[in-house]
Amino acid sequence: MARGKKYLQALENIDRDKAYSIEDAVGLLKSFPMLKFDQTVEITLNLGIDGRQADQILRGTVMLPHGTGKDIRVLVMAQGETAQEAEDAGADFVGGADLVAKIEGGWLDFDLVVASPDMMGQVGKLGRVLGPRGLMPNPKTGTVTREVGQAVREAKAGRVEYRADSKSGNNAQAAVGKLSFEAESLVENVKAFTDAIMRAKPSSAKGQFVNKCVLSSAMGPGIKIDRSQLAA
């Protein structure tokens, strides 16, 4: 695959044999030639887990202290007072059977689905649509909850989800901000994510937990992070 001039310029600044501190990696990212849009900064951790084993699958959420820089469109499946709570919290779409029908018809203009437990009977009909796209609500990620207002507020404030299993190549990945963020804010977001992953290490996982950690911009080369930087 042919790479653009700015990608190659950025690549020249990276020592491919070196693993950088988080602070230095962020500094490198911000020194790369700018593109015409504000690139998302992404982090990927390849983990020493057996993602085929249920007790080694990692799935959860992390609150990034400075958010992701993206306006998250939240859809909430709820009714009655719970629906009102979702609307008051800033949900973009709130409903029940009407939204189920709309989604079954091919509408997918949202980034996150939250559902109250009593709505899961209806939401379950959407498994084949939402599941493959990573949008199916799940109690483990706090998206099946009676506290829908809190879930909406957290999503809008910068909560990100992660999942590491055999389908993801045992990778835990997330967006941790935009290149326009202050360097200190990006560093704090990266550390919040890596700290959460380290705390989530399954007790059954043996040997080295993090095989590789890479920070990158959406259109730029990856920068290896020194694993000794990651909190135990």
Domains of the chain, start order: 5-68+161-229 (3.30.190.20), 74-157 (3.40.50.790)
pLDDT at residue 171 in the model: 94
pLDDT at residue 56 in the model: 92
- 36-82: per-residue pLDDT in tens? 888 999 999 999 999 899 999 998 899 999 999 989 999 999 999 99
* CA distance to 27, 99, 179, 223, per residue, from 185 (Å): 12, 37, 10, 18
Average pLDDT over residues 106-121: 95
* pLDDT class of 32 with cuts at 50, 70, 90: confident
Identify the weakest region by mean pLDDT among 92-101, 141-150, 212-221: 212-221
pTM, rounded to two decimals: 0.82
Mean per-residue pLDDT of the chain: 90
- Nearest Cα to 89, choosing from 140, 147, 137? 147
* pLDDT class of 4 with cuts at 50, 70, 90: low
Q: Phi first, then psi: give them for residue 101, nearest 5 degrees.
A: -65, -40
Identify the bridge partners of residue 76 per DSSP, sorted by sequence position.
94, 114
- Nearest Cα to 154, choosing from 200, 112, 96? 112
% of residues, the chain, pLDDT over 70: 93
* pLDDT class of 1 with cuts at 50, 70, 90: very low
